[in-house]
């Protein structure tokens, strides 16, 4: 649900922080709002709620495709511009208990990047 709304929402159609709270799952919002500054200082993977929301308006990616094989999911994000920041995307999985050590990223798996 999180990805579905984010990827279909127009970058220019800003939703207020309170509206996001009613759109996003409560557990996801609380994974940020119930954490203190000290919690975030001790865990570099945690996000401040308002920072996460703001970062979604400036994301440099869009969902391209995904595939599930066994206990692995491969997700391909299309790079829209530089800098290519996608940590807010990874947080969606981290907030559900997926350790960051189980998340890997590979750049340009299709060899299409042009510099």
pLDDT digits (tens, 9 = 90+) for 59-106: 888 888 888 888 888 888 888 877 777 888 889 989 999 888 888 777
Within a domain: 111: no
Within a domain: 11: yes
Instruction: Say if residue 83 is preceded by a cis peptide, omega within 30 of 0.
Output: yes
Tokens of 106: 């590979």
For residue range 4-47, what is the model confidence (pLDDT) as tens digits?
Answer: 666 565 555 677 888 888 889 999 999 999 999 999 999 999 99
How many domains does one find in the chain? 1
Residue 16, CA atoms < 13 Å, CB-side half-sphere? 3
Within a domain: 108: no
d(CA 109, CA 100): 20
Within a domain: 109: no
Tokens of 15: 């939703």
User: 19 is in which domain, residue-wise?
Assistant: 2-102
pLDDT at 38: 96
Within a domain: 115: no
CB 56 within 8 A of CB 92: no
């Amino acid at each position: 649900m999180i990805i579905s709304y984010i990827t279909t929402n127009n970058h220019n159609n800003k939703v207020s922080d309170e509206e996001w709270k009613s759109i996003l799952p409560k557990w996801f919002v609380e994974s940020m709002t119930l954490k203190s500054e000290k919690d975030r200082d001790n865990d570099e993977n945690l996000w401040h709620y308002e920072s996460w929301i703001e970062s979604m308006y400036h994301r440099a990616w869009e969902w391209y495709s995904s595939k599930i094989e066994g206990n692995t999911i491969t997700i391909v994000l299309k790079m829209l511009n530089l800098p290519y920041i996608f940590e807010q995307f990874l947080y969606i999985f981290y907030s559900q208990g997926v350790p960051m050590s189980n998340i890997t990223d590979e750049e340009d798996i299709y060899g299409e990047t042009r510099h």
